[in-house]
Amino acid sequence: MRHDDPSLAALIGSRICHDLISPIGAISNGLELFGLAGAAPDGPEMSLIQQSCDNATARIRFFRIAFGSAGDSRPVPATEARKTLADHYAATRIATDWHVTADLGRDVTQLAYLSVLCLESALPKGGLLSVALDGSALVSTAEADIVRTDTSLWTDLTNGCTGGPKHLLPTDVQFALLARLCEDHGITPVLGTQAGLAQLTLALPGKDS
């Protein structure tokens, strides 16, 4: 794999998300107009369609930051970052807390979202995912009665394995991408665990508290 391949993949991800968000948004807007005009049938079918559109839109907005290109230097407002995270998990057994009050750069927000996706895999029965800043460190936490971090994916991440292990599944791609981005930023991911809790800490170089 060439070194610039991840950047190309990120651009592809951004393009896909950009192209998908418009038609899904159009469907959602069309359903709303039908409702205002009284032309849409009132029933569980329409509610299901609207809910599906809302869920798809939320996931695309989240994935556009998590897996897209971080080349845009504009900061992501804290309210937007919090809402995007919450909306992504709205229809799941996972609750979220975005404790960061400052607007973060898109690159840092991407690191946070990827960290959360990694920690999501540690919550087989749901739980709480939270993101905070501790000085210059980005701290993402998973809390639940059952928290599992016993897979080799975590070892690969904290040991800086960026090549993408052969056993990597599509559902686990966030581990490989986060490892590569951490390498690019000179960050060493640190995983801390205790009963009912897993915490992933990324010390951000050049970030003020």
Instruction: Tell me the per-residue pLDDT of 109-153, one tens digit each, with 9 for 90 and over.
Output: 999 999 999 999 999 999 999 999 999 999 999 999 999 998 899
Q: Output 43 or 136, whichever has higher pLDDT.
A: 136
Q: Read off the pLDDT band of 1 (50, 70, 90).
A: very low
The whole-model pTM stands at: 0.83
Number of Cβ atoms within 10 Å of the Cβ of 89: 18
**What's the pLDDT at 25?**
67
Tell me, what amino acid is at 89? Y
Average pLDDT, the chain: 84
Contact in structure between 75 and 24 (CB atoms under 8 Å) = no
Tokens (6 digits) for 117: 């996706």
**pLDDT score of 120:** 97
Q: Check: CB of residue 113 under 8 Å from CB of residue 66.
A: yes
Residue percentage of the chain with pLDDT more than 70: 73
Residue (of 49, 23, 19) closest to 34 by Cα position: 49
Query: What's residue 195's pLDDT?
Result: 94
Question: 138: buried, middle or exposed (CB in 10 Å: 19+, 13-18, 0-12)?
Answer: buried
